[in-house]
Structures are given as structure tokens and as C-alpha cells.
Amino acid sequence: MDIQNAAKNIKVLFLDSDGVIFPNTVLMGAPFMAKSRSYYDGQGISLLRAIGIRIAIITNEKDQAADAIRTTVEKWNSLPSSKPQQSDGWEPIVLYEGCGGEQKSAAAEEFLASRGLSFSDAGFMGDDMVDVPLLRTVALPAAPASAERAIRDLCTFVAERNGGEGAIRDFTNMILAARNIDPFLLPAQ
């Protein structure tokens, strides 16, 4: 499937955490580990959700190392438009922790099957070797500019920006353009 058709047809976007939502770095030495993320990416995720694309995050992180992504998903799921009691509210973002390699594909398959969808309905943005099995399976494999060269070469879409610095927003802008959707007509969250 070419990038335009895939962009028009995906119903689900799977995302890795470190290297995609967050830069692939961690600030150490304080009594905590600190990660940063881009608000452009958060808005990009909201825009995708506003057009009905489901979001699931599948990360190798677990336990305390997954605190940052857990907190971020809780924040995104608490947006006013995310409220499950609203009949037109956005579907909650789902988080899978402790999944690397083939486990990422298994988590994605579980998510898709529970919604009557298949890998041909999905895109995935990953940045390193642990993401390869799922990147090879989805209809629209994507990577941030900062991904390893081998990963960028594997992907149909490569963002102009780095992971944690707007790469997801680049992906969102490409999806909206392929679907001829004016982002100014979508709710800003």
C-alpha cells in the first residue's frame, strides 16, 4: 500500500514511548529520572483522536521506568473530550507496558482483534530494533528523524522532527493532508 492510501485508511496508530513520545534520553543524577516531551506531539495525538484514529502506546518500559508514560497517558485520557461518559467522546488511549520485540506485535494484535480490526488498519511509529517486528507488520510504518538509520530505511514515513520533539505531529500533519482535513476545523485540546 502506498503512503497516501495508507494515510487515508489507518484507523489505529501504535506508538513507542522512549524515542518517539519522549526523546531517547533520560536525565539522571537527581532523586528521580526526568523525561521531556513535546506539546506539539500531544496536540497531534488529540487531532488524530478527533478524526477517530485510536491510539495505543506499546512500550518496553515497565515498573518505575514507565511512570512518565503512565502519567502522560492519564493526562491525555483526562482531557474533556476524552470523557467516556460523553457519547461523542474520544476512545481512551491504551497503554501496554513491558512489551518489546514480538511482544509489541502480540499486544497490537490483541488491541486490533478486540476492535475487529487488522494490521492493514494500523500505523506504528518506532525508533529502534525492539520495534522492528511491529514495523514490518503494520500498513504504515513510521519513524522520527532521530530513529536509527536501519529503522528509517524500513519505514514508509519518516518525520522531519526528532522523537519527543514533534515527530508525532509531523505524522499527524501528513495524515490530515492526505485526508484533506483542515486542522483549524478540529477541536484544539
1-28 pLDDT, tens digit each: 689 999 999 999 999 999 999 898 777 7
Which of 54-58, 122-126, 181-185 shows the lowest per-residue confidence on average (mean pLDDT)?
181-185
The closest of 29, 44, 14, 50 to 165, measured between CA atoms, is 44
Over range 52-73, report the average pLDDT: 92
Amino acid (one-letter) located at 63:
D
Prediction pTM value: 0.93
Is 3.40.50.1000 the CATH number for 3-24+34-180? yes
| pLDDT value of residue 31 | 67
75-87 pLDDT, tens digit each: 999 887 776 645 6
Over range 159-173, report the average pLDDT: 97
What percent of the chain is predicted at pLDDT more than 90?
Answer: 72
Q: Give the Å distances, CA to CA, from 3 to 35, 155, 158.
A: 31, 10, 11
Domain map (residue ranges) of the chain: 3-24+34-180
3 state SS of 139? coil
Over range 61-87, report the average pLDDT: 82
- All three cell numbers of 64: 518505575
Over range 30-59, report the average pLDDT: 87
